[in-house]
Every structure is written in C-alpha cells, then in structure tokens.
Structure 1
C-alpha cells in the first residue's frame, strides 16, 4: 500500500461517522446510508486529492448528491410499501458530548417521518443547514442553486416540518418520565394508568412492512390507542418479555425484547405537557436487524 493510499484511507475514515450521520438523516435508512458511504469511498479513491482543499466539505458534497439521487427512487419504493413507512431507528444507551457534537443535532424518529413529505432539495437544505450548520454558500454549490434559493429551501422545509406536527423539544427528564410511566402501565396491563399518560389526541404509528402484523394506518385518540396497546401486550407478553430503556434517535424510548438479546420492536415517542402525544413503533425485522 502506498503512502497516498493510506492518506486517502485516513482522510476518509476521519469523516466516516460524520458522513454516515449526514446520509442517515437524508435517507432515513441505515442500510441505504451505508451503500452511499461505499460509493463515496470509491469516488474518493478516484479523485485527484491534491486539488481537494477541504476533504470534509468535498465528501459532504459527494454524499449529499448521492443521497439526493436516491431520494427519488426511495420515495417510489415507499409509496408501494405495505402500511406506514417509518425510518430505521438508531438505538443507543448513552452518548458522550463529543459524539453528539460529531454527529450533529439529533433528529427524532418523528421529525424524520415528517421529513418524508419534503422534496429532496428541501430535505438536503434542511439537514445540511439546521442539523450540521453547513453554510448556504456551500449548500448552494452542492445543490446547484443560488445561496438565496438554498436559504429559501431550508426555510420552506422548516415550516413544513412545523406544520407536519413537530413539537417543541421537552426536557429529557420529562420525556423519560412519560416513557417510564407508559412502560410500567403496559407491563401491568393497567388501562387507567395508560390513559393517564396518553395525550387525549395521541397518534399511534406502526411499521411492520408487511412482514409483521401492524396497523396499515395511524390510530388516533387515547381510548383507541390504549385499547390497541393493551391488546398488543396481551398477545406479545410472556415471562421472558421485557422493555429496555434506551435512546432512540437521541430521545428516551424503548426496545421490546421477547427474550434476552432478541429485539422485537423499537418505540419512540413525542411528549407534550408530560403526556405521550405521538408513538412510533417499528417492528419490521428488516429495520431491526442491526440491533442486538
């Protein structure tokens, strides 16, 4: 291996986590993000790196354009998807401040789901600027737009995300308390306690992908959601079943375990005024295969 080859590897590896974070937020799929990174690496090998002043900026442009190309075909696939399509969840038990800074602002499962409504250009402008603080001049070059057009794309995306139901961030302790109360109520089969932790207008989203039984459409209202959850728990729960409290896309959530080490589902929540306003449960095994 030549020194040039090793330099190329080192430069790419130094940006790999960051680039993966960009690709995931643009695509909502960890598998697709990895495919993009592989293609970006192949292009990085072939470029004249002597002419690249800023590898991070150059690779960000490459990854964004690859994702941009994928978003059109991804939308067509998701329109043919069985039931609701939800992003693949990123699950962790904790994250250091340095890791959080490297990976940009956390984007919840709820926001990623709303971002499916954006055009590819709006999504790219929003992710690059609002999540990773990339300047509009650089975004304009990446998207082949003017800086003013890039600014308008990000602004329009921000507005559409707000209109799509994104709620203001709550204190993590308040969020965790609501998730803990939900888990305790479902484990006990306590319908009244479950109703108490659900917002009256709660919305339940589920993604089974046609592989695992799940609702084809969202379920609305605390009464319907509480009864749905009670029925699901009755069918799923065994002496070996349990919940694990984790971070799902940076926010308190749950992993459903039918046995130690066997993940059956991941749950993310939006919390408003101490109650669960939206619940997202991913049970499609294809979207859980990266979890142990």
Structure 2
C-alpha cells in the first residue's frame, strides 16, 4: 500500500510546507511561490492518482517544472525593476531543528541574491540537490536532462554561488553580537559605534522598488553606510513617530525588523557577518515585498 491511498487533499496538505519551501528557494518570492502551489494543487486534483507512486517526488517534480517556467519571465521582470531587486524575506521567531527539518536548509537573503545570477536550470539543480538532498535522477527527470547533466549543473551553480558570495561567519553567537551592536548603535545614532561594527568594505543593498525611498545602487564603505544608517535612524526613530525596531529570524539568521506605528512591518534588515563585523546588509522596504509578513 502506498501513501497515495490517503485522501488527495490530505496527501497534498502533508507536503504543502515542504513544497512551499522548495518553491520559495527556487523563486525568491513568497507571492510567486504561493501561485505555484495553487497551480500544483489544481494539477494534483486533475491527475490520475492511481498512477502515482510516491507523493513527494511526484509533487516536487510538478512544482519544479512550474518554477522553471516562471524563472525565465521573472528574470526579465527583474531586469527592468527600479533599483536593486532583492528577494522577499522570510521573518520568523522560530529557528528550531524541527523547523529546519521540515523546510530544508535556510537560505540567507545574500545567498538568494547571488542565486539570481544562475540560469534557471542551474538554480533548480543547486537548490534541489544541495538544500533538499534530492537525487540527480529525480532532478534530471524534472529538467528533461540526464543525471550527469544535472550533476554538472549543480556543480557549476555551486561554484558560481561560492565565487559570487562573500565569506560569512557560521558562528550564530558571533553573528548575534554583531547584529546586536549594529542595532544598539543605530537606535542611538552612534556613528562611532556603527563604524566599529561595520567592515571597512561593507556593502549596503536596499530595495524600495520605486515605492519607498531607497538607494538605487549598492552603497560601499563603512563611512558612507554609517552616515546613511544614522540619517535613516534620525528620520524614522524620532520621538512620537511610533516607529520601533526589534530582532527576528530573517531567512534563518538573526536580523532586524522595523515596525510602523500601525504595527505593520516597514523594513527587514538581513546581515552577513565576517570576523565579527558586518560585511553586507540587505534591506527590504518595498511594501509589496513585505505584505505577506504579519
């Protein structure tokens, strides 16, 4: 007896969180991932399920192919995007082992941004194999390639991700200390404190999408970034503004979240930390990319 004997809706719901994690890592968009899941559900309802062996591999292939079709058009849209395009962030208070086991390896905003440089096939091979331990045979079937070709795609993607990313700290305690120091200095408008925690070659990325004011291009260097952050703090955190900041897990790493007076999230800040200093920041303030957050 296979697990397909359960009711179709139960079989899909049991895999939904996993499938959503796959789709998000492939697309970098919560909104697009939800659209993919909706289409996958419609296709699941229409299929002759007596011909399906195992549910998870089958649905993973369906979601992968839908994402593959979307990635090409998404790249075209992002090329015409106003300013820097950053992924939609995931914000959570939960980073437990159970959470990671259910949703795969966490992927930082920095890595998702680097993954934008990959071809759709490279991204699929890398995400499925490296983050979800899917075999190359299954990946090959989803892409219409041979297993050897899928292995080569993953290897090439892995190399490009490594070369395109900045070396980061794997020690959560060191990451937390740097982010906490950044937040404390920001709230105080303490430029000296910011300079102490920012790497001299820090890079600040921000995404306002033309809806909210944000730098159109990346800002380089601790001096420029510290002045920018102090200026933003003076504007946002004035007495009576109702704006506040707090900590949260942003794509599996400690980050900072700003809240408007209404309680709505107005900005999400994710950081890359190396040798105790922040080397990169990814800031999403485009409200369209924060609408999914509560």
TM range (shorter): over 0.9
Given that 1:111 and 1:166 are in contact with CA atoms closer than 8 Å, whether structure 2 keeps it comes out as no
| Structure 1 residues 156 and 35: alpha-carbon distance in aligned structure 2, compared to 1, 3 A threshold | same
2:281 is aligned with 1:279: yes
Cα offset for 1:98?
1.5
Cα offset for 1:258?
2.7
Q: 1:254-286 CA deviation, whole Å, 9 max, x = no partner?
A: 101132622110000000000000001000000
Q: 1:87-131 CA deviation, whole Å, 9 max, x = no partner?
A: 000000123322210100000000000000000000000000000
Given that 2:126 and 2:154 are in contact with CA atoms closer than 8 Å, whether structure 1 keeps it comes out as yes
Secondary structure of the 2:259 match is: strand
**Would you say how many aligned residue pairs link Structure 1 and Structure 2?**
289
Question: Counterparts of 1:87 and 1:190 in 2: how far apart (Å)?
Answer: 29
Question: Counterparts of 1:218 and 1:236 in 2: how far apart (Å)?
Answer: 21
Secondary structure of the 1:265 match is: strand
Cα offset for 1:148?
0.8
Cα offset for 1:168?
4.1
Alignment of 1:1-292 (within 5 A): 7-239=7-239, 240-259=242-261, 261-292=263-294
Given that 1:26 and 1:123 are in contact with CA atoms closer than 8 Å, whether structure 2 keeps it comes out as yes
Secondary structure of the 1:277 match is: strand
- Supply the RMSD in Å over aligned alpha carbons: 1.3
Question: Counterparts of 1:71 and 1:167 in 2: how far apart (Å)?
Answer: 27
Q: 1:179-237 CA deviation, whole Å, 9 max, x = no partner?
A: 10000001011100100000011000000000000011000011111111111111111
Unmatched 5+ stretches in structure 2: none
Normalized against structure 1, the TM-score is what?
Answer: 0.96
Secondary structure of the 1:252 match is: strand
- Which runs of 4 or more aligned residues in structure 1 lie more than 3 Å from their structure 2 counterparts after TM superposition? none
